[in-house]
């Protein structure tokens, strides 16, 4: 997958859980709810229809109890290797009904490669233009996506071994 | 494929060219240029990267010589049966850089089924909301998509037999 540093944000890490477990963490609602939002935010609902054109919906709750729904659509799925979705579309590839919840649309790709007994993990966020990319970076993309990856690893270690 | 009459526009026709020829007409730039825009408009350029995430780009020219580029992204491809793309995304599933050229985004599906020696042809345009659907209808969706289908059939008969 080619990226464009002016338009994309990339987080690359090696983690010590297998691609199988990372894939499970990303594709089952009961796991998503455990790690998907940086504490003290929580993910209180999740719907996954794991096929191109299927829904990926989450509801995040702020520490103050405010709920933020977020609806997206899966685009490309290669089990244990690649997961791509966008919030520019919703179920059935329909253009999104909701306003962009971050103020802009993005497409995300999670790439997984075996690395010893662990995983080389690459998360990519693709944007329309530099302004959106820079806004997403300033919102704390790297810290946020890094933190939730640590939460994912801790959670899957607790259930997966 | 399920449609929602409040959000979608549907054109259904039986045509007397085979699904193979309709598929060819939709997937090769040299054919697209011959039928894709209602005369006296013309399609002066076309780029097709026929895979999910690949570009579908056309440039239409008005009778006055004004050019209108239109960039989209393929989402789902079943050879000779189903072609889905959207202008909400561009190459690599990136959210569109260009403003929506119709004033709104839409996702389109072309469904082909064998019907005798011809084809049952269904074109679906999916929208975010009723306002966009109704605007697209008022812009002449049924006449426009019907006219270009007639052009497609005439063109493919001229080259395909």
Cα of B1 vs its chain's centroid, Å: 17
Chain A interface, Cβ < 8 Å to B: 1-2, 7, 52-53, 75-76, 84, 86, 88-89, 92-97, 104-107, 126-129, 132
What phi and psi values does residue A75 have, to the nearest 5 degrees? -115, -45
pLDDT of amino acid B99: 84
**Dihedral of the alpha carbons of A136, B84, A94, A22, in degrees to the nearest 10:** -50
Q: CA-to-CA distance for A94 and A102, rounded, in angstroms?
A: 19
Residues of A in contact with B132 (CB under 8 A): 95
> CA B36, B54, B80: angle at the middle one, nearest 5?
60
Q: CA-to-CA distance for A21 and B29, rounded, in angstroms?
A: 43
pLDDT of amino acid B160: 65
Radius of gyration of chain A (CA): 15
So what's the architecture of B8-159 in CATH?
2-Layer Sandwich (3.30)
Chosen for mutation from B8, B88, B127, B135 (greatest number of chain A CBs closer than 10 Å) is B88
- Rounded to two decimals, the ipTM of the complex is 0.93
For residue A89, the chain B residue with the least C-alpha distance is: B88
CB nearest A76 (choices: B7, B53, B127): B53
Tokens 């259904």 belong to B12
Per residue in B101-115, pLDDT tens?
Answer: 888 999 999 999 999
Q: CA-to-CA distance for A81 and B112, rounded, in angstroms?
A: 32
pTM (2 decimals)?
A: 0.94
Low-confidence ranges of chain A (pLDDT < 50): none
Residue B161 has pLDDT above 80, yes or no: no
Summary mean pLDDT of chain B: 96
pLDDT of amino acid A99: 84
**Residue A73 per-residue DSSP state:** E
Residue boundaries of the structural domains of chain B: 8-159
């Amino acid at each position: 997958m080619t990226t464009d540093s002016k338009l994309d944000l990339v987080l690359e890490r090696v983690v010590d859980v297998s691609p199988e477990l990372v894939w499970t963490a990303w594709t089952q609602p009961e796991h998503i709810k455990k790690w998907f939002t940086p504490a003290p935010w929580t993910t209180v609902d999740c719907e996954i229809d794991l096929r191109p054109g299927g829904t990926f919906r989450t509801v995040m709750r702020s520490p103050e109890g405010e709920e933020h729904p977020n609806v997206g659509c899966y685009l490309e799925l290669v089990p244990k290797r690649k997961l791509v979705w966008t919030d520019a579309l919703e179920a059935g590839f329909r253009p999104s009904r909701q306003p962009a919840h971050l103020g802009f649309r993005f497409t995300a790709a999670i790439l997984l490669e075996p690395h010893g007994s662990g995983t080389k993990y690459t998360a990519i966020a693709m944007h329309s233009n530099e302004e959106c990319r820079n806004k997403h970076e300033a919102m704390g993309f790297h810290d946020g996506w890094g933190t939730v990856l640590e939460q994912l690893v801790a959670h899957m270690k607790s259930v997966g071994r």
